[in-house]
């Protein structure tokens, strides 16, 4: 992996190599681009491939191979995502990639393109309707005077915004300073997802009027709402979405909305009308789509004729402007631009194939990019670099995926990955709690040792929030520096320190669904906890700084099941610091609490499985109280394959029994990895680990 923040160095180096070694497509550059000289001049610092290898942390041999492969391969796709975008130099990183494709003419051809893989399923659709602070609707620029006039003329509006608005980080700074006194938050959870997240909490706490639209009542952000509006979930929405290949798909609701829940467009229209604005009398999404299509075509030259180069835009839905309601409901997925309703399916499958770009002169622009290090560098106080991102089975801030028992079985707790050598250096052990601290905030996570992490770096996922953990919002720790153009925060590069988080005891607690309210306050008063959904119960991993004896002497403060209808079982060994408590009602398991050294805590999946039973047998009671299953032969372990419900233990056993050396063999035996494929990297890692074990 490349050193965090050095993507511009890498692709500037590639640009120089391609130019020096004669791999430029001179005819394409001359006919269809401008600005190459300035791009080459700005990347002069990367003319020596050995220097680039040092800057990027890539071995010289691999870097040379990469440059040669890019140069000599006719069709190259460069796929980039959050590792490039989430940076204070994110725009430069993307432009440095595009520059290499422009220089070699590897753009506008099937199988040859720079391709941004965004993290949102309707990211393209959001941009089409002007869903950013620096955009107008229909892919037009807010700071472009001609675009301003075009949109104002189309809407016949008395005025129009002429300056770029505040992007997310700047927006909440304006809220805290009092420049913004009212805010309406839709479909996002900024108290978790933004950097310097405690600043967002302060801003919302001081804001005079906060409105939140969401489908979840309890999120970190809804806690600050003066007005909480029930919105529609994905399956309840009606409209269109657009994917990364510009394909518009008709989304039809398949669930009836809850009684008071309404579409966001409806809520906006109602408020706009109450404020006295005209033009918001929409009856349904069909009417909104027609206006959307009409704006895209307004004063827009046709693709081939280009009768007015100054207003030419590829985003054009001319052929969909007269859709009837029935035609809209039956609309098949279609790729824009749509010039004519009956245009051929692949008429515009490949943009730029004629070397025609959306600038006034029709030419693409090389952009000068300079390799500049991230703003905040590691130092003696904060010696490690924090990288944040997603994990496979959770979505954003867990407001919905955190409720799924299946999705919580893979990575159950908020964690921090660190290289084993760094763990040794900082006195950390596998599975122990650690505090991550930066100049902006701190949080507490579970340590995971990993050879996949480069020394000097740590990784933590973005998902956990205050609804699912006491102190795991990694956004509190992330620095608030943003890209000057995109406003994208530096999520991938924050200097931090890491240190053990000391507690007197750790434990695991389960409570049956429907009884959580009894224990919520007492459980959440422990110094550290994380909440995990299982099939029939909620599981809490706990840690506290109160002495073991102080805790066990007041167990009913921790587990306030005081009604005589509850049956208690308890086992304690004060010397070994072991305490097992079980609460039953009419033979059903209601709650269980295990406090013990980490190695002696019970198998989590086994305990969770007992909550599925309507009544426990005497043997189950004994086993539960002992914290030891009668037979552990069927324990699947953490879920690896969500599609076919295959656990880690079964995969390891199958690998060893069959001497497996390829993931396809695992799929043949267990089906694992044979559907979506997202678990295949982990399966490959298990195969590698088993093979290494055999050679020792």
Q: What are the backbone dihedrals phi and psi of residue 466, each rounded to the nearest 5 degrees, phi first?
A: -75, -10
The SS3 of residue 666 is: helix
Q: Look up residue 84 and give its two tokens.
A: 């490039």
Indicate the pTM of the whole model: 0.90
**pLDDT at res. 555:** 86
Angle CA(446)–CA(649)–CA(642) in degrees, nearest 5? 75
Q: How many helices and strands (H and E) does the chain possess?
A: 24, 26
Per the CB < 8 A criterion, the answer to whether 192 and 397 are in contact is yes
Place of tokens 């050879």: 451
**pLDDT at res. 360:** 79
**pLDDT at res. 210:** 98
**pLDDT at res. 122:** 83
The SS3 of residue 385 is: strand
**pLDDT at res. 119:** 67
Residues in Cβ contact with 276 at an 8 Å cutoff, skipping those fewer than 6 apart:
none
**pLDDT at res. 174:** 97
Q: Tens digit of pLDDT for each residue in 269-327? A: 999 999 999 999 999 999 999 999 999 999 886 554 444 445 568 899 999 999 999 99
The closest alpha carbon to 3, from 418, 532, 457, belongs to: 457
What residues of the chain score a pLDDT lower than 50? 304-309
**pLDDT at res. 308:** 45
**pLDDT at res. 670:** 92
């Amino acid at each position: 992996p490349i050193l965090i923040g050095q993507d511009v160095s890498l692709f500037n180096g590639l640009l120089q190599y391609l130019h020096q070694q004669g791999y430029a497509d001179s005819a394409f550059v001359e006919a269809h681009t401008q600005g190459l000289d300035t791009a080459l001049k700005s990347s002069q610092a990367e003319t020596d491939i050995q220097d680039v290898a040092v800057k990027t942390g890539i071995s010289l041999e691999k870097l040379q191979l990469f440059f040669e492969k890019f140069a000599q391969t006719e069709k190259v796709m460069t796929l980039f995502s959050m590792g490039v975008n989430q940076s204070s130099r994110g725009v430069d990183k993307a432009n440095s990639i595009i520059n290499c494709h422009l220089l070699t003419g590897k753009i506008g051809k099937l199988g040859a393109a720079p391709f941004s893989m965004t993290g949102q399923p309707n990211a393209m659709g959001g941009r089409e309707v002007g869903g950013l602070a620096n955009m107008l609707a229909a892919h037009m620029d807010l700071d472009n005077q001609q675009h301003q006039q075009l949109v104002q003329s189309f809407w016949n509006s008395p005025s129009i915004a002429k300056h770029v608005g505040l992007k997310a980080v700047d927006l909440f700074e304006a809220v805290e300073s009092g420049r913004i006194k009212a805010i309406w938050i839709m479909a996002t959870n900024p108290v978790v997802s933004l950097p310097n997240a405690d600043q967002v909490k302060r801003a919302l706490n001081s804001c005079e009027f906060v409105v939140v639209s969401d489908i979840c009542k309890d999120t970190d952000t809804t806690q600050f709402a003066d007005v909480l509006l029930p919105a529609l979930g994905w399956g309840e929405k009606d409209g269109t979405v657009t994917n990364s290949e510009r394909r518009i798909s008709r989304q039809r609701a398949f669930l009836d909305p809850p009684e008071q829940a309404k579409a966001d467009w409806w809520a906006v229209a109602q408020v706009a009308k109450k404020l006295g604005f005209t033009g918001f009398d929409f009856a349904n999404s069909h009417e909104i789509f027609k206006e959307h299509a009409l704006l895209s075509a307004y004063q827009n030259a046709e693709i081939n004729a280009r009768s007015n180069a100054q207003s030419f835009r590829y985003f054009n839905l001319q052929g969909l402007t007269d859709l009837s309601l029935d035609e809209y409901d039956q609309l098949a997925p279609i790729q824009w631009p749509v010039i004519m309703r009956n245009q051929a399916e692949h008429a515009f499958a490949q943009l730029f194939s004629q070397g025609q770009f959306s600038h006034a002169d029709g030419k693409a622009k090389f952009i000068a990019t300079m390799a500049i290090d991230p703003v905040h560098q590691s130092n003696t106080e904060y010696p490690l670099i924090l990288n944040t991102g997603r994990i496979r089975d959770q979505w954003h801030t867990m407001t919905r995926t955190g409720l799924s028992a299946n999705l919580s079985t893979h990575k159950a707790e908020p964690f921090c990955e660190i290289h084993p050598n760094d763990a040794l250096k900082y006195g950390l052990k596998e599975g122990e709690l650690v505090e991550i601290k930066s100049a902006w905030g701190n949080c507490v996570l579970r340590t995971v040792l990993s050879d996949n992490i480069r020394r000097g770096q740590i990784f933590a996922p973005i998902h956990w929030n205050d609804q699912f953990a006491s102190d795991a919002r990694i956004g509190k720790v992330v620095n608030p520096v943003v890209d000057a153009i995109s406003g994208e925060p530096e999520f991938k590069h924050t200097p931090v320190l890491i240190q053990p988080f000391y507690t007197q005891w750790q434990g695991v607690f389960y409570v049956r669904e429907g009884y959580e309210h009894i224990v919520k306050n007492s459980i959440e008063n422990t110094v550290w906890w994380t909440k995990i959904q299982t099939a029939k119960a909620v599981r809490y991993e706990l840690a506290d700084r109160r002495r073991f004896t102080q805790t066990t002497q007041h167990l009913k403060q921790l587990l306030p099941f005081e009604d005589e209808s509850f049956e208690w079982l308890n086992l304690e060994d004060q010397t070994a610091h072991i305490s097992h408590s079980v609460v039953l009602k009419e033979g059903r398991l209601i709650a269980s609490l295990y406090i013990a050294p980490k190695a002696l805590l019970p198998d989590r999946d086994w305990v969770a499985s007992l909550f599925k039973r309507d009544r426990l047998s005497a043997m189950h009671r004994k086993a539960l109280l002992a914290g030891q299953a009668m037979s552990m032969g069927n324990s699947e372990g953490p879920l690896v394959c969500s599609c076919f419900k295959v656990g880690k233990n079964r995969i390891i056993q199958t690998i060893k029994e069959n001497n497996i050396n390829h993931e396809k063999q695992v799929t043949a035996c267990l089906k694992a990895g044979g559907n979506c494929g997202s678990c295949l990297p982990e399966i490959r890692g298990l195969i590698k680990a088993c093979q290494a074990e055999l050679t020792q």
